[in-house]
Amino acid sequence: MRLVQLIRRAYERFAALVHEVLKFGTVGAMAFVINFGVVNALWAWWGSQGTLTAKVIATVVAATFAYFGNRYWTFRHREQSGLAREYVLFFVLNGVGLLIELLCLSFSRYTLGLDNLLANNIATLIGTGLGTLFRFWSYKKWVFLAAQPVESTVEGTVEGTVEAQAGPLTTR
């Protein structure tokens, strides 16, 4: 019985984070498919000449999709601080995430001398994993801000919060 209560309390405490992570992961998975598809199509078209350029183009396409998915689904409950501000900041932080990916890809290609599609994709997977961790943290911290607490009214309560603070009202 105690274990069930402990699990329930832990879930209640982390439910919002779990839901954000699941939604972020879903949007990220779709953006990854877009990124992976675009970069592989460009690599096939250009050959090894445009390895890094193809990665940049694919990331811009996928990041645009990810911004709208995260803004209007993953973090829709968070404060909206202006489309232009969020979009620019989102892309700046995506640039840092892209840099992490490019470092992994460059290391594989130029340091290890691995210049084939399999090596490129493995380096991309590693870079994407590291970049994703950075993106989730940075989006929550700087792009999709936590909602500001609602100020109380003259009576000292906000409509709808009395029940939330005192529990459900019962009639006798």
d(C-alpha 137, C-alpha 12), whole Å: 21
Report the pLDDT averaged over residues 90-105: 90
Residue 12 CB neighbour total at 10 angstroms: 9
pLDDT tens readout for residues 63-91? 899 999 999 998 888 877 788 888 889 88
Report the pLDDT averaged over residues 124-153: 83
pLDDT at 19: 86
Report the pLDDT averaged over residues 117-132: 91
d(C-alpha 71, C-alpha 67), whole Å: 6
Domain limits, the chain: 23-146
Distance of CA 49 to the CA centre of its chain: 30
Alpha helices in 47-111 (DSSP H): 51-69, 83-106
